[in-house]
Structure 1
């Protein structure tokens, strides 16, 4: 989700954090030793601290901040962490019957951090793992979407009619209309596609 911010805004946040920490260290040093830290030493120390702490702590605590300030779900991007269950409807036809299967039960697990997102989808026949996920937010339209590419690995018993393949997909949520529902579509390298409808099972 960090990538949703412009590069300029990212730099502004990091610079602001660095300045705040420098001022804090200067104040602590003067209070504790009676002497202020030299500026070069302060900058080098703080740059390291901000980089490490921001990367670790922010990724662990952002969900707490989102719960305290729920408006961030709308103005930035919603917390989609957790398990989502539902169905997918494919256009693929079973070569043995020539028929398109009905809705397939599906479970999607989203692991969303401040800096990265992963998506795993499991059905009765296969498992998919995302390779790359891109978040897209349009607060004015109340549309928040995850685009991702994935690898699909069928269970061995289904290899005769379902081969390993790659694909791309998107999942979208509308906070005003259905805050616990994801809808989406997927497209495979086998020239098939389908629709997905999922409901939040647990956070």
Structure 2
């Protein structure tokens, strides 16, 4: 979520919170000790405190509040935390038979905090883990996309026909159509691709 703010907005939030906190500490100090001081004396200390507090509050409260007030999700980014199950459909065509593979049962897990998002995907033969994630909201149409790059590690018994590789994928959520369905496409370094269709199970 934090990455969706522009840099100047992030800086403005941190600076504003630090100044307000410094003024607050100055007032408390004067009230308790009766000594006049200046906000500048507190700035370095306050910046550290504000950073810790902001992280703690955002991590602990953001999604709890967003689940109660869905408007927060549409204005920032939906809560995608959880297990998603469905299938992959590869576009690869067997050169010997001219046929495609049947849908591959798939489970996908998204772990999302205010500051980070990670995606893991499992099939019967391999495990993929995201290396980078980028959130792309389309607020006007209330559609939200997760782009991610990943590393795929097949089980050793399948290495003879499925090597380790890297890839890129995206997952789309249409807020108005179905908040518990993700569809998308993946592309691999092996020059293959396919479609993803999963639904949130928990």
TM-based fold match above 0.5: yes
Residue 181 of structure 1 deviates from its aligned partner by: 0.5
* Alpha-carbon spacing, 1:161–1:48, altered in 2? closer, same or farther (3 Å): same
User: Which moves more between the two structures, 11-20 or 96-105?
Assistant: 96-105
Q: Distance in 1 between matches of 2:65 and 2:159?
A: 45
2:17 maps to 1:17: yes
Q: Distance in 2 between matches of 1:132 and 1:182?
A: 18
Query: Which SS does the other structure have where 2:201 is aligned?
Result: strand
Residue 44 of structure 1 deviates from its aligned partner by: 1.5
Q: Distance in 2 between matches of 1:67 and 1:36?
A: 44
Unaligned runs of 5+ in 1: none
Unaligned runs of 5+ in 2: none
Residue 98 of structure 1 deviates from its aligned partner by: 5.6
TM-score, structure 1 as length reference: 0.92
Q: Aligned residue for 1:156?
A: 156
For these two proteins, the number of residue pairs brought into alignment is 202
Q: Would the aligned equivalents of 1:167 and 1:189 in 2 still touch at CA under 8 Å?
A: yes
Q: Aligned residue for 2:50?
A: 50
Q: Distance in 2 between matches of 1:66 and 1:37?
A: 40
Q: Would the aligned equivalents of 1:95 and 1:161 in 2 still touch at CA under 8 Å?
A: no
Matches within 5 A, 1:165-180: 165-180=165-180
Q: Aligned residue for 1:85?
A: 85
Q: Distance in 2 between matches of 1:123 and 1:11?
A: 42
